């Protein structure tokens, strides 16, 4: 494995204004001087966490997917974040992972019933791990963070990504659970959240984090509007796993 430079984009989101949000992110990345391997955007970064699923949903291969692919080619990196995507079965909260060579995706499995997401969106079924620059990367979206069985490392990934619109009143949960997922899975964890307020008046505190496998914080974006780049050290991860191989005593299980 080589080291991986990861850029976290933490910003406010314009409510249901995809073009404005894409333009804002273009400007943020253009003003960032760091080279990167992976750009991570928040959940539903084109609209905010809107339940107007059909009105906001794009077709597969639509404007935002094409834009992400363009960014990936422009910066020679991967770009990921979630948007609403409409297919024959319905609308999914879909996390896209775009590289210069194509796009993979993960459909959010755990839908946030307290906001009625389960009534407006279809739940994904498959756990998705992508490979990028020697790293095996687990894709996860927001509420998935509360369900550790689904994200249990079966020695099949090195980095877990969580993209979110996680409200400020539960920021303590967000921060602690990101650290817990890193410790229990012997992996690096990146969590990217938004800041500001949405059209419903919900406040978001950001708190985007990069966490090492031992639970130590490599980056804490606090409540800032920022694009910050962190290098994940492959040797440090491997040596920690070798020195503390608790995965060898993990319980076997099967998801149904």
What is the predicted pLDDT for the residue at 252?
83
User: Residue 72: what are its φ and ψ, rounded to 5°?
Assistant: -60, -40
Phi-psi region of 144 (alpha: psi -120 to 50; beta: other; left: phi over 0): alpha
Report CA dihedral (83, 85, 90, 92) to the nearest 10 degrees: -30
Structure tokens at 29: 């990345």
State what percent of residues in the chain have pLDDT above 90: 94
Supply the mean pLDDT for the chain. 96
Whether the pLDDT of residue 256 is over 80: the answer is no
What is the predicted pLDDT for the residue at 101?
96
Rounded CA separation 22/46 (Å): 7
Whether the pLDDT of residue 250 is over 90: the answer is no
- Choosing from 11, 58, 77, 108, the catalytic residue is 108
- Choosing from 43, 58, 65, 117, the catalytic residue is 43
List, edge to edge, every strand of the sheet that includes 129-132: 129-132, 135-141, 159-163, 188-192, 209-211, 217-220
Beta strand 135-141 with 129-132 is antiparallel
Distances from the Cα of 230 to the Cα of 77, 161, 189, 234, angstroms: 14, 14, 12, 13
What is the predicted pLDDT for the residue at 242?
95
Q: For residue 234, what pLDDT band results from cuts at 50, 70 and 90?
A: very high
Q: What is the CA angle 34-37-41, rounded to 5? A: 85
What is the predicted pLDDT for the residue at 247?
85
The pLDDT tens digits of the residues spanning 130-170 come to 999 999 999 999 999 999 999 999 999 999 999 999 999 99
The pLDDT tens digits of the residues spanning 26-66 come to 999 999 878 999 999 999 999 999 999 999 999 999 999 99
The pLDDT tens digits of the residues spanning 66-92 come to 999 999 999 999 999 999 999 999 999
**What domains can you pick out in the chain, each with its CATH number?**
4-249 (3.60.110.10)
pTM: 0.97
Q: Is 184 marked active-site?
A: no
The pLDDT tens digits of the residues spanning 198-215 come to 999 999 999 999 999 999
The pLDDT tens digits of the residues spanning 96-118 come to 999 999 999 999 999 999 999 99
Whether the pLDDT of residue 191 is over 80: the answer is yes
Q: Is 119 marked active-site?
A: no
Handedness of CA 220, 223, 224, 226 (dihedral sign): positive
- Residue 46's nearest CA partner among 31, 58, 29, 32 is 58
Whether the pLDDT of residue 127 is over 90: the answer is yes
What is the predicted pLDDT for the residue at 248?
84
- Choosing from 11, 77, 142, 188, the catalytic residue is 142
Q: Is 142 marked active-site?
A: yes
């Amino acid at each position: 494995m080589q080291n991986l430079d990861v850029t976290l984009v933490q910003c406010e989101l314009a409510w249901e204004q995809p073009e404005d949000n894409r333009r804002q992110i273009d400007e943020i990345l253009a003003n960032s001087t760091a080279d990167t391997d992976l750009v991570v955007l928040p959940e539903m970064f084109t609209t905010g966490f809107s339940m107007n699923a059909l009105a906001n949903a794009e077709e597969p291969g639509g404007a935002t997917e094409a834009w992400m692919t363009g960014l990936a080619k422009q910066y020679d990196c991967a770009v990921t974040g979630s948007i609403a995507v409409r297919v024959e079965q319905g609308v999914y909260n879909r996390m896209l992972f775009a590289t210069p060579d194509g796009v993979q995706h993960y459909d959010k499995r755990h839908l946030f019933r307290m906001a009625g997401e389960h009534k407006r969106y279809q739940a994904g079924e498959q756990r998705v791990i992508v490979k990028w620059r020697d790293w095996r990367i687990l894709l996860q979206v927001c509420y998935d963070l509360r369900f550790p069985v689904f994200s249990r490392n079966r020695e099949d990934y090195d980095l877990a990504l969580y993209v979110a619109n996680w409200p400020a009143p539960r920021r303590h949960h967000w921060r602690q659970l990101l650290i817990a997922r890193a410790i229990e899975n012997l992996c690096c964890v990146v969590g990217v959240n938004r800041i500001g307020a949405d059209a419903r008046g919900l406040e978001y505190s950001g708190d985007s984090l990069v966490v090492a496998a031992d639970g130590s914080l490599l980056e804490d974006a606090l409540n800032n509007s920022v694009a910050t780049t962190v290098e994940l050290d492959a040797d440090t991860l491997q040596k920690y796993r070798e020195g503390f191989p608790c995965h060898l005593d993990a319980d076997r299980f099967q998801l149904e």
